[in-house]
Structure 1
Amino acid sequence: MREGLFIKKNKDRWERIQNGASKDADEVAKDFTRLVDDLAYAKTFYPNGKVTPYINGLAARIYLNIYQNRKEESNRLIKFWKYDVPLTIQKHHLIILLAFVLFIIFFIVGFFSSYKDPTFVREVLSDAYVDMTERNIEEGNPFGVYMMGNSFLMWLGLMINNIVVSFMYFAKGIFFGIPTISSLIKEAMRLGAFEFMFYAKSLGTKATITILIHGILELTAIIIASSAGIVLGKSFLFPGTIKRWDSLRIGLKDGVKIVVGLMPIFIVAAFFEGFITRYYNMPLALSLLLLAASASFIIWYFIIYPVKLYRKLVNTRQNRFPKIHE
């Protein structure tokens, strides 16, 4: 039989298998058996033909789907943070970028609003907090707020608070993402006002370094958690070519993956704030080393690695399932 005729005879079945149309276990087993027979025939009569690697790829995929699912449950957590979270992050990179830009814009708004109107700081941070900070500055301990209480209890409280806040930001996304965006904007303006409070006392650089020791991780996680809420709202507002409720289900699933994936970031950020930020008078080189390490991790895990992983996945699929032509 000519290769072209062999392809024409079986092409519909192969495409059905490639598209994953069959869910029944018996049907999958039957498909696998027939593919093995097809592969043996192709290797015998068309060893150098394009159809041979194509069939081999289909058979390999079914084999992996059958046997990889037998891995231990412990591997699921590794897979979650190694593959699921980065690929979901990559899928929504544009929304994350939008959230990041919004945060930067309203941080600047908060900073300059405080510059133009001295009462603005008290409006967004409260009189009690501003009075305490000014008192600490006068006493020569401007960041004394980070030295209050037991380090362990502080870490635990901050960790729980940030995790709860992240889920709240995500959950608010169900209302078309608007409350989530509003919360993100308010958080950015508060931080801008907070930074100006120290800038006005010639402590701007010191405040930036001190805050970012834990803030690089914490603020990044807050921005990405807000992005998860926006993903949820967008999935309902703009379902694309699929049904609105199906789109919402996908958005909910992606959002949960993102927020749950941020838990280790919140844990480490709270640890830094509870145990390390209190030593803000540490050598500058050590502070900069911590900032560089945190920034490098954020850039790698949330930007570089997801893109590389996605490209690798696309290339693997193209190599495993090449298009065939009669």
Structure 2
Amino acid sequence: MKEVVFVKRNSEKWGQVEKLLNENLQVNPDELYNMYVGLNDDLSYAATFYPRSETLVYLNNLTILLHQKIYINKKVKRNRFVEFWKTDYPLLFWENRKYFWYAFTVFIVSALIGAFSTAVDVDFPRLIMGDHYVNMTLENISNGDPLAVYKQANEMNMFLGITINNIRVAFLAFVAGVFFSFGSGYILLRNGIMLGCFQYFFYDYNLLRESVLTIYIHGTLELFSIIVAGAAGMAIGNSILFPGTLPRTLSFQKGAATGLKIVSGAIPLFLVAGFFEGFVTRHTELPDVVRGGIIVLSLAFIIAYFFLYPKYLKQKSIP
């Protein structure tokens, strides 16, 4: 392409960048990022085909100024941590909520598969949970304490062990997204089948109500967090499969950054879920109203913070 054609084709785009810089206009961060990526592409092209031209000098100066606007002149708020959880994370989750619903659908369908498989094959729980766990649970049922498994370890040891393991599973589900989202889907499938199998197993022994009131004291936040981690992995996979107008490498970098922020929101939930599992779930003698209340409050928090509050923030930001 001749230099004059290259300049004519892109002059309007460069003029918009100049106007942005000269008038100090406020632009959406994503749009600013895309402008910077596009300008860098043009700079690379000019450096390759017009190495000693005035166009190269112009684009180099323009790119430096735009870089300064994005990074050097960016004000860092002192309460950045608070701002992240108050505004940034809820909006980020809302904008990427489609990945949550993809992950949620995979998880629920998997749980139904697990329940159905247990209903038609009494040995299926042994395949999924292992002979040792099934035999131990059957022994606990015969002893009148079906969920005694939560009482075996020391409270603090159980809290730390469960929390660390859950965070490990979450980041595994997140990182597995690089396999075009199928890796995250597999981990959700595995956990969903296990849950469905586990719940139907207790249903078979007329213990569904007791299992729900016990397990979901910690399980409400824990399972939600695993789905969030799967959604974060799908954000990565989607960025690789569908880069849009961005180069695939840049799309992946952007998707990975988004996914990492999404999965970070699951860590505090895992900490709370681990605390419940280590210190509260074991107390099966608690009144049903107390156990049910914890479950309802956990659900209320999830709905409020992850769905209602972000929607409110988004509507508030629209002029």
Normalised by the size of structure 1, how large is the TM-score? 0.77
Structure 2 partner of 1:114: 118
- What is the Cα deviation at residue 311 of structure 1? 2.2
One-letter amino acid of the structure 2 residue matched with residue 177 of structure 1: S
Relative distance call for 1:82 and 1:131 in structure 2 (3 A) is same
Relative distance call for 1:67 and 1:196 in structure 2 (3 A) is closer
Whether 1:267 aligns to 2:271 is yes
Structure 2 partner of 1:101: 105
**CA–CA separation in structure 2 for the residues paired with 1:68 and 1:80:** 15
One-letter amino acid of the structure 2 residue matched with residue 255 of structure 1: G
One-letter amino acid of the structure 1 residue matched with residue 282 of structure 2: R
**CA–CA separation in structure 1 for the residues paired with 2:291 and 2:310:** 28
**CA–CA separation in structure 1 for the residues paired with 2:278 and 2:211:** 16
- What is the Cα deviation at residue 298 of structure 1? 0.4
One-letter amino acid of the structure 2 residue matched with residue 245 of structure 1: T
Unaligned runs of 5+ in 2: 1-15, 36-61
Whether 1:292 aligns to 2:296 is yes
Please tell me the root mean square deviation across aligned C-alpha atoms, in Å: 2.3
Relative distance call for 1:148 and 1:25 in structure 2 (3 A) is same
Deviations 1:117-149 (A, max 9, x none): 111111000000000000000000100011111
- What is the Cα deviation at residue 228 of structure 1? 0.4
Which secondary structure state, in structure 2, belongs to the residue aligned with residue 277 of structure 1? coil
**CA–CA separation in structure 2 for the residues paired with 1:170 and 1:103:** 15
- What is the Cα deviation at residue 88 of structure 1? 1.6
- What is the Cα deviation at residue 184 of structure 1? 0.4
Q: Give the total of aligned pairs.
A: 268
Name which of 189, 192, 201 aligns with 2:205: 201
**CA–CA separation in structure 2 for the residues paired with 1:77 and 1:189:** 37
Structure 1 partner of 2:258: 254
- What is the Cα deviation at residue 313 of structure 1? 2.4
Q: What aligned pairs does 1:292-311 form with structure 2 within 5 A after superposition?
A: 292-311=296-315
Q: What aligned pairs does 1:4-153 form with structure 2 within 5 A after superposition?
A: 15=20, 17-18=24-25, 19=27, 24=65, 68-69=75-76, 71-72=77-78, 75-153=79-157
- What is the Cα deviation at residue 210 of structure 1? 1.1
What is the percentage of aligned positions where both structures have the same residue?
A: 38
Relative distance call for 1:12 and 1:147 in structure 2 (3 A) is closer
- What is the Cα deviation at residue 260 of structure 1? 1.5
**CA–CA separation in structure 2 for the residues paired with 1:102 and 1:159:** 24
- What is the Cα deviation at residue 83 of structure 1? 2.0
**CA–CA separation in structure 2 for the residues paired with 1:13 and 1:149:** 65
**CA–CA separation in structure 1 for the residues paired with 2:246 and 2:66:** 27
Whether 1:231 aligns to 2:258 is no
Relative distance call for 1:233 and 1:27 in structure 2 (3 A) is closer
Unaligned runs of 5+ in 1: 1-10, 29-61, 316-326
**CA–CA separation in structure 2 for the residues paired with 1:195 and 1:25:** 56
**CA–CA separation in structure 2 for the residues paired with 1:263 and 1:67:** 28
Deviations 1:208-241 (A, max 9, x none): 1211111110000000101101111110101112
**CA–CA separation in structure 2 for the residues paired with 1:235 and 1:127:** 41
Structure 1 partner of 2:53: none
Normalised by the size of structure 2, how large is the TM-score? 0.78
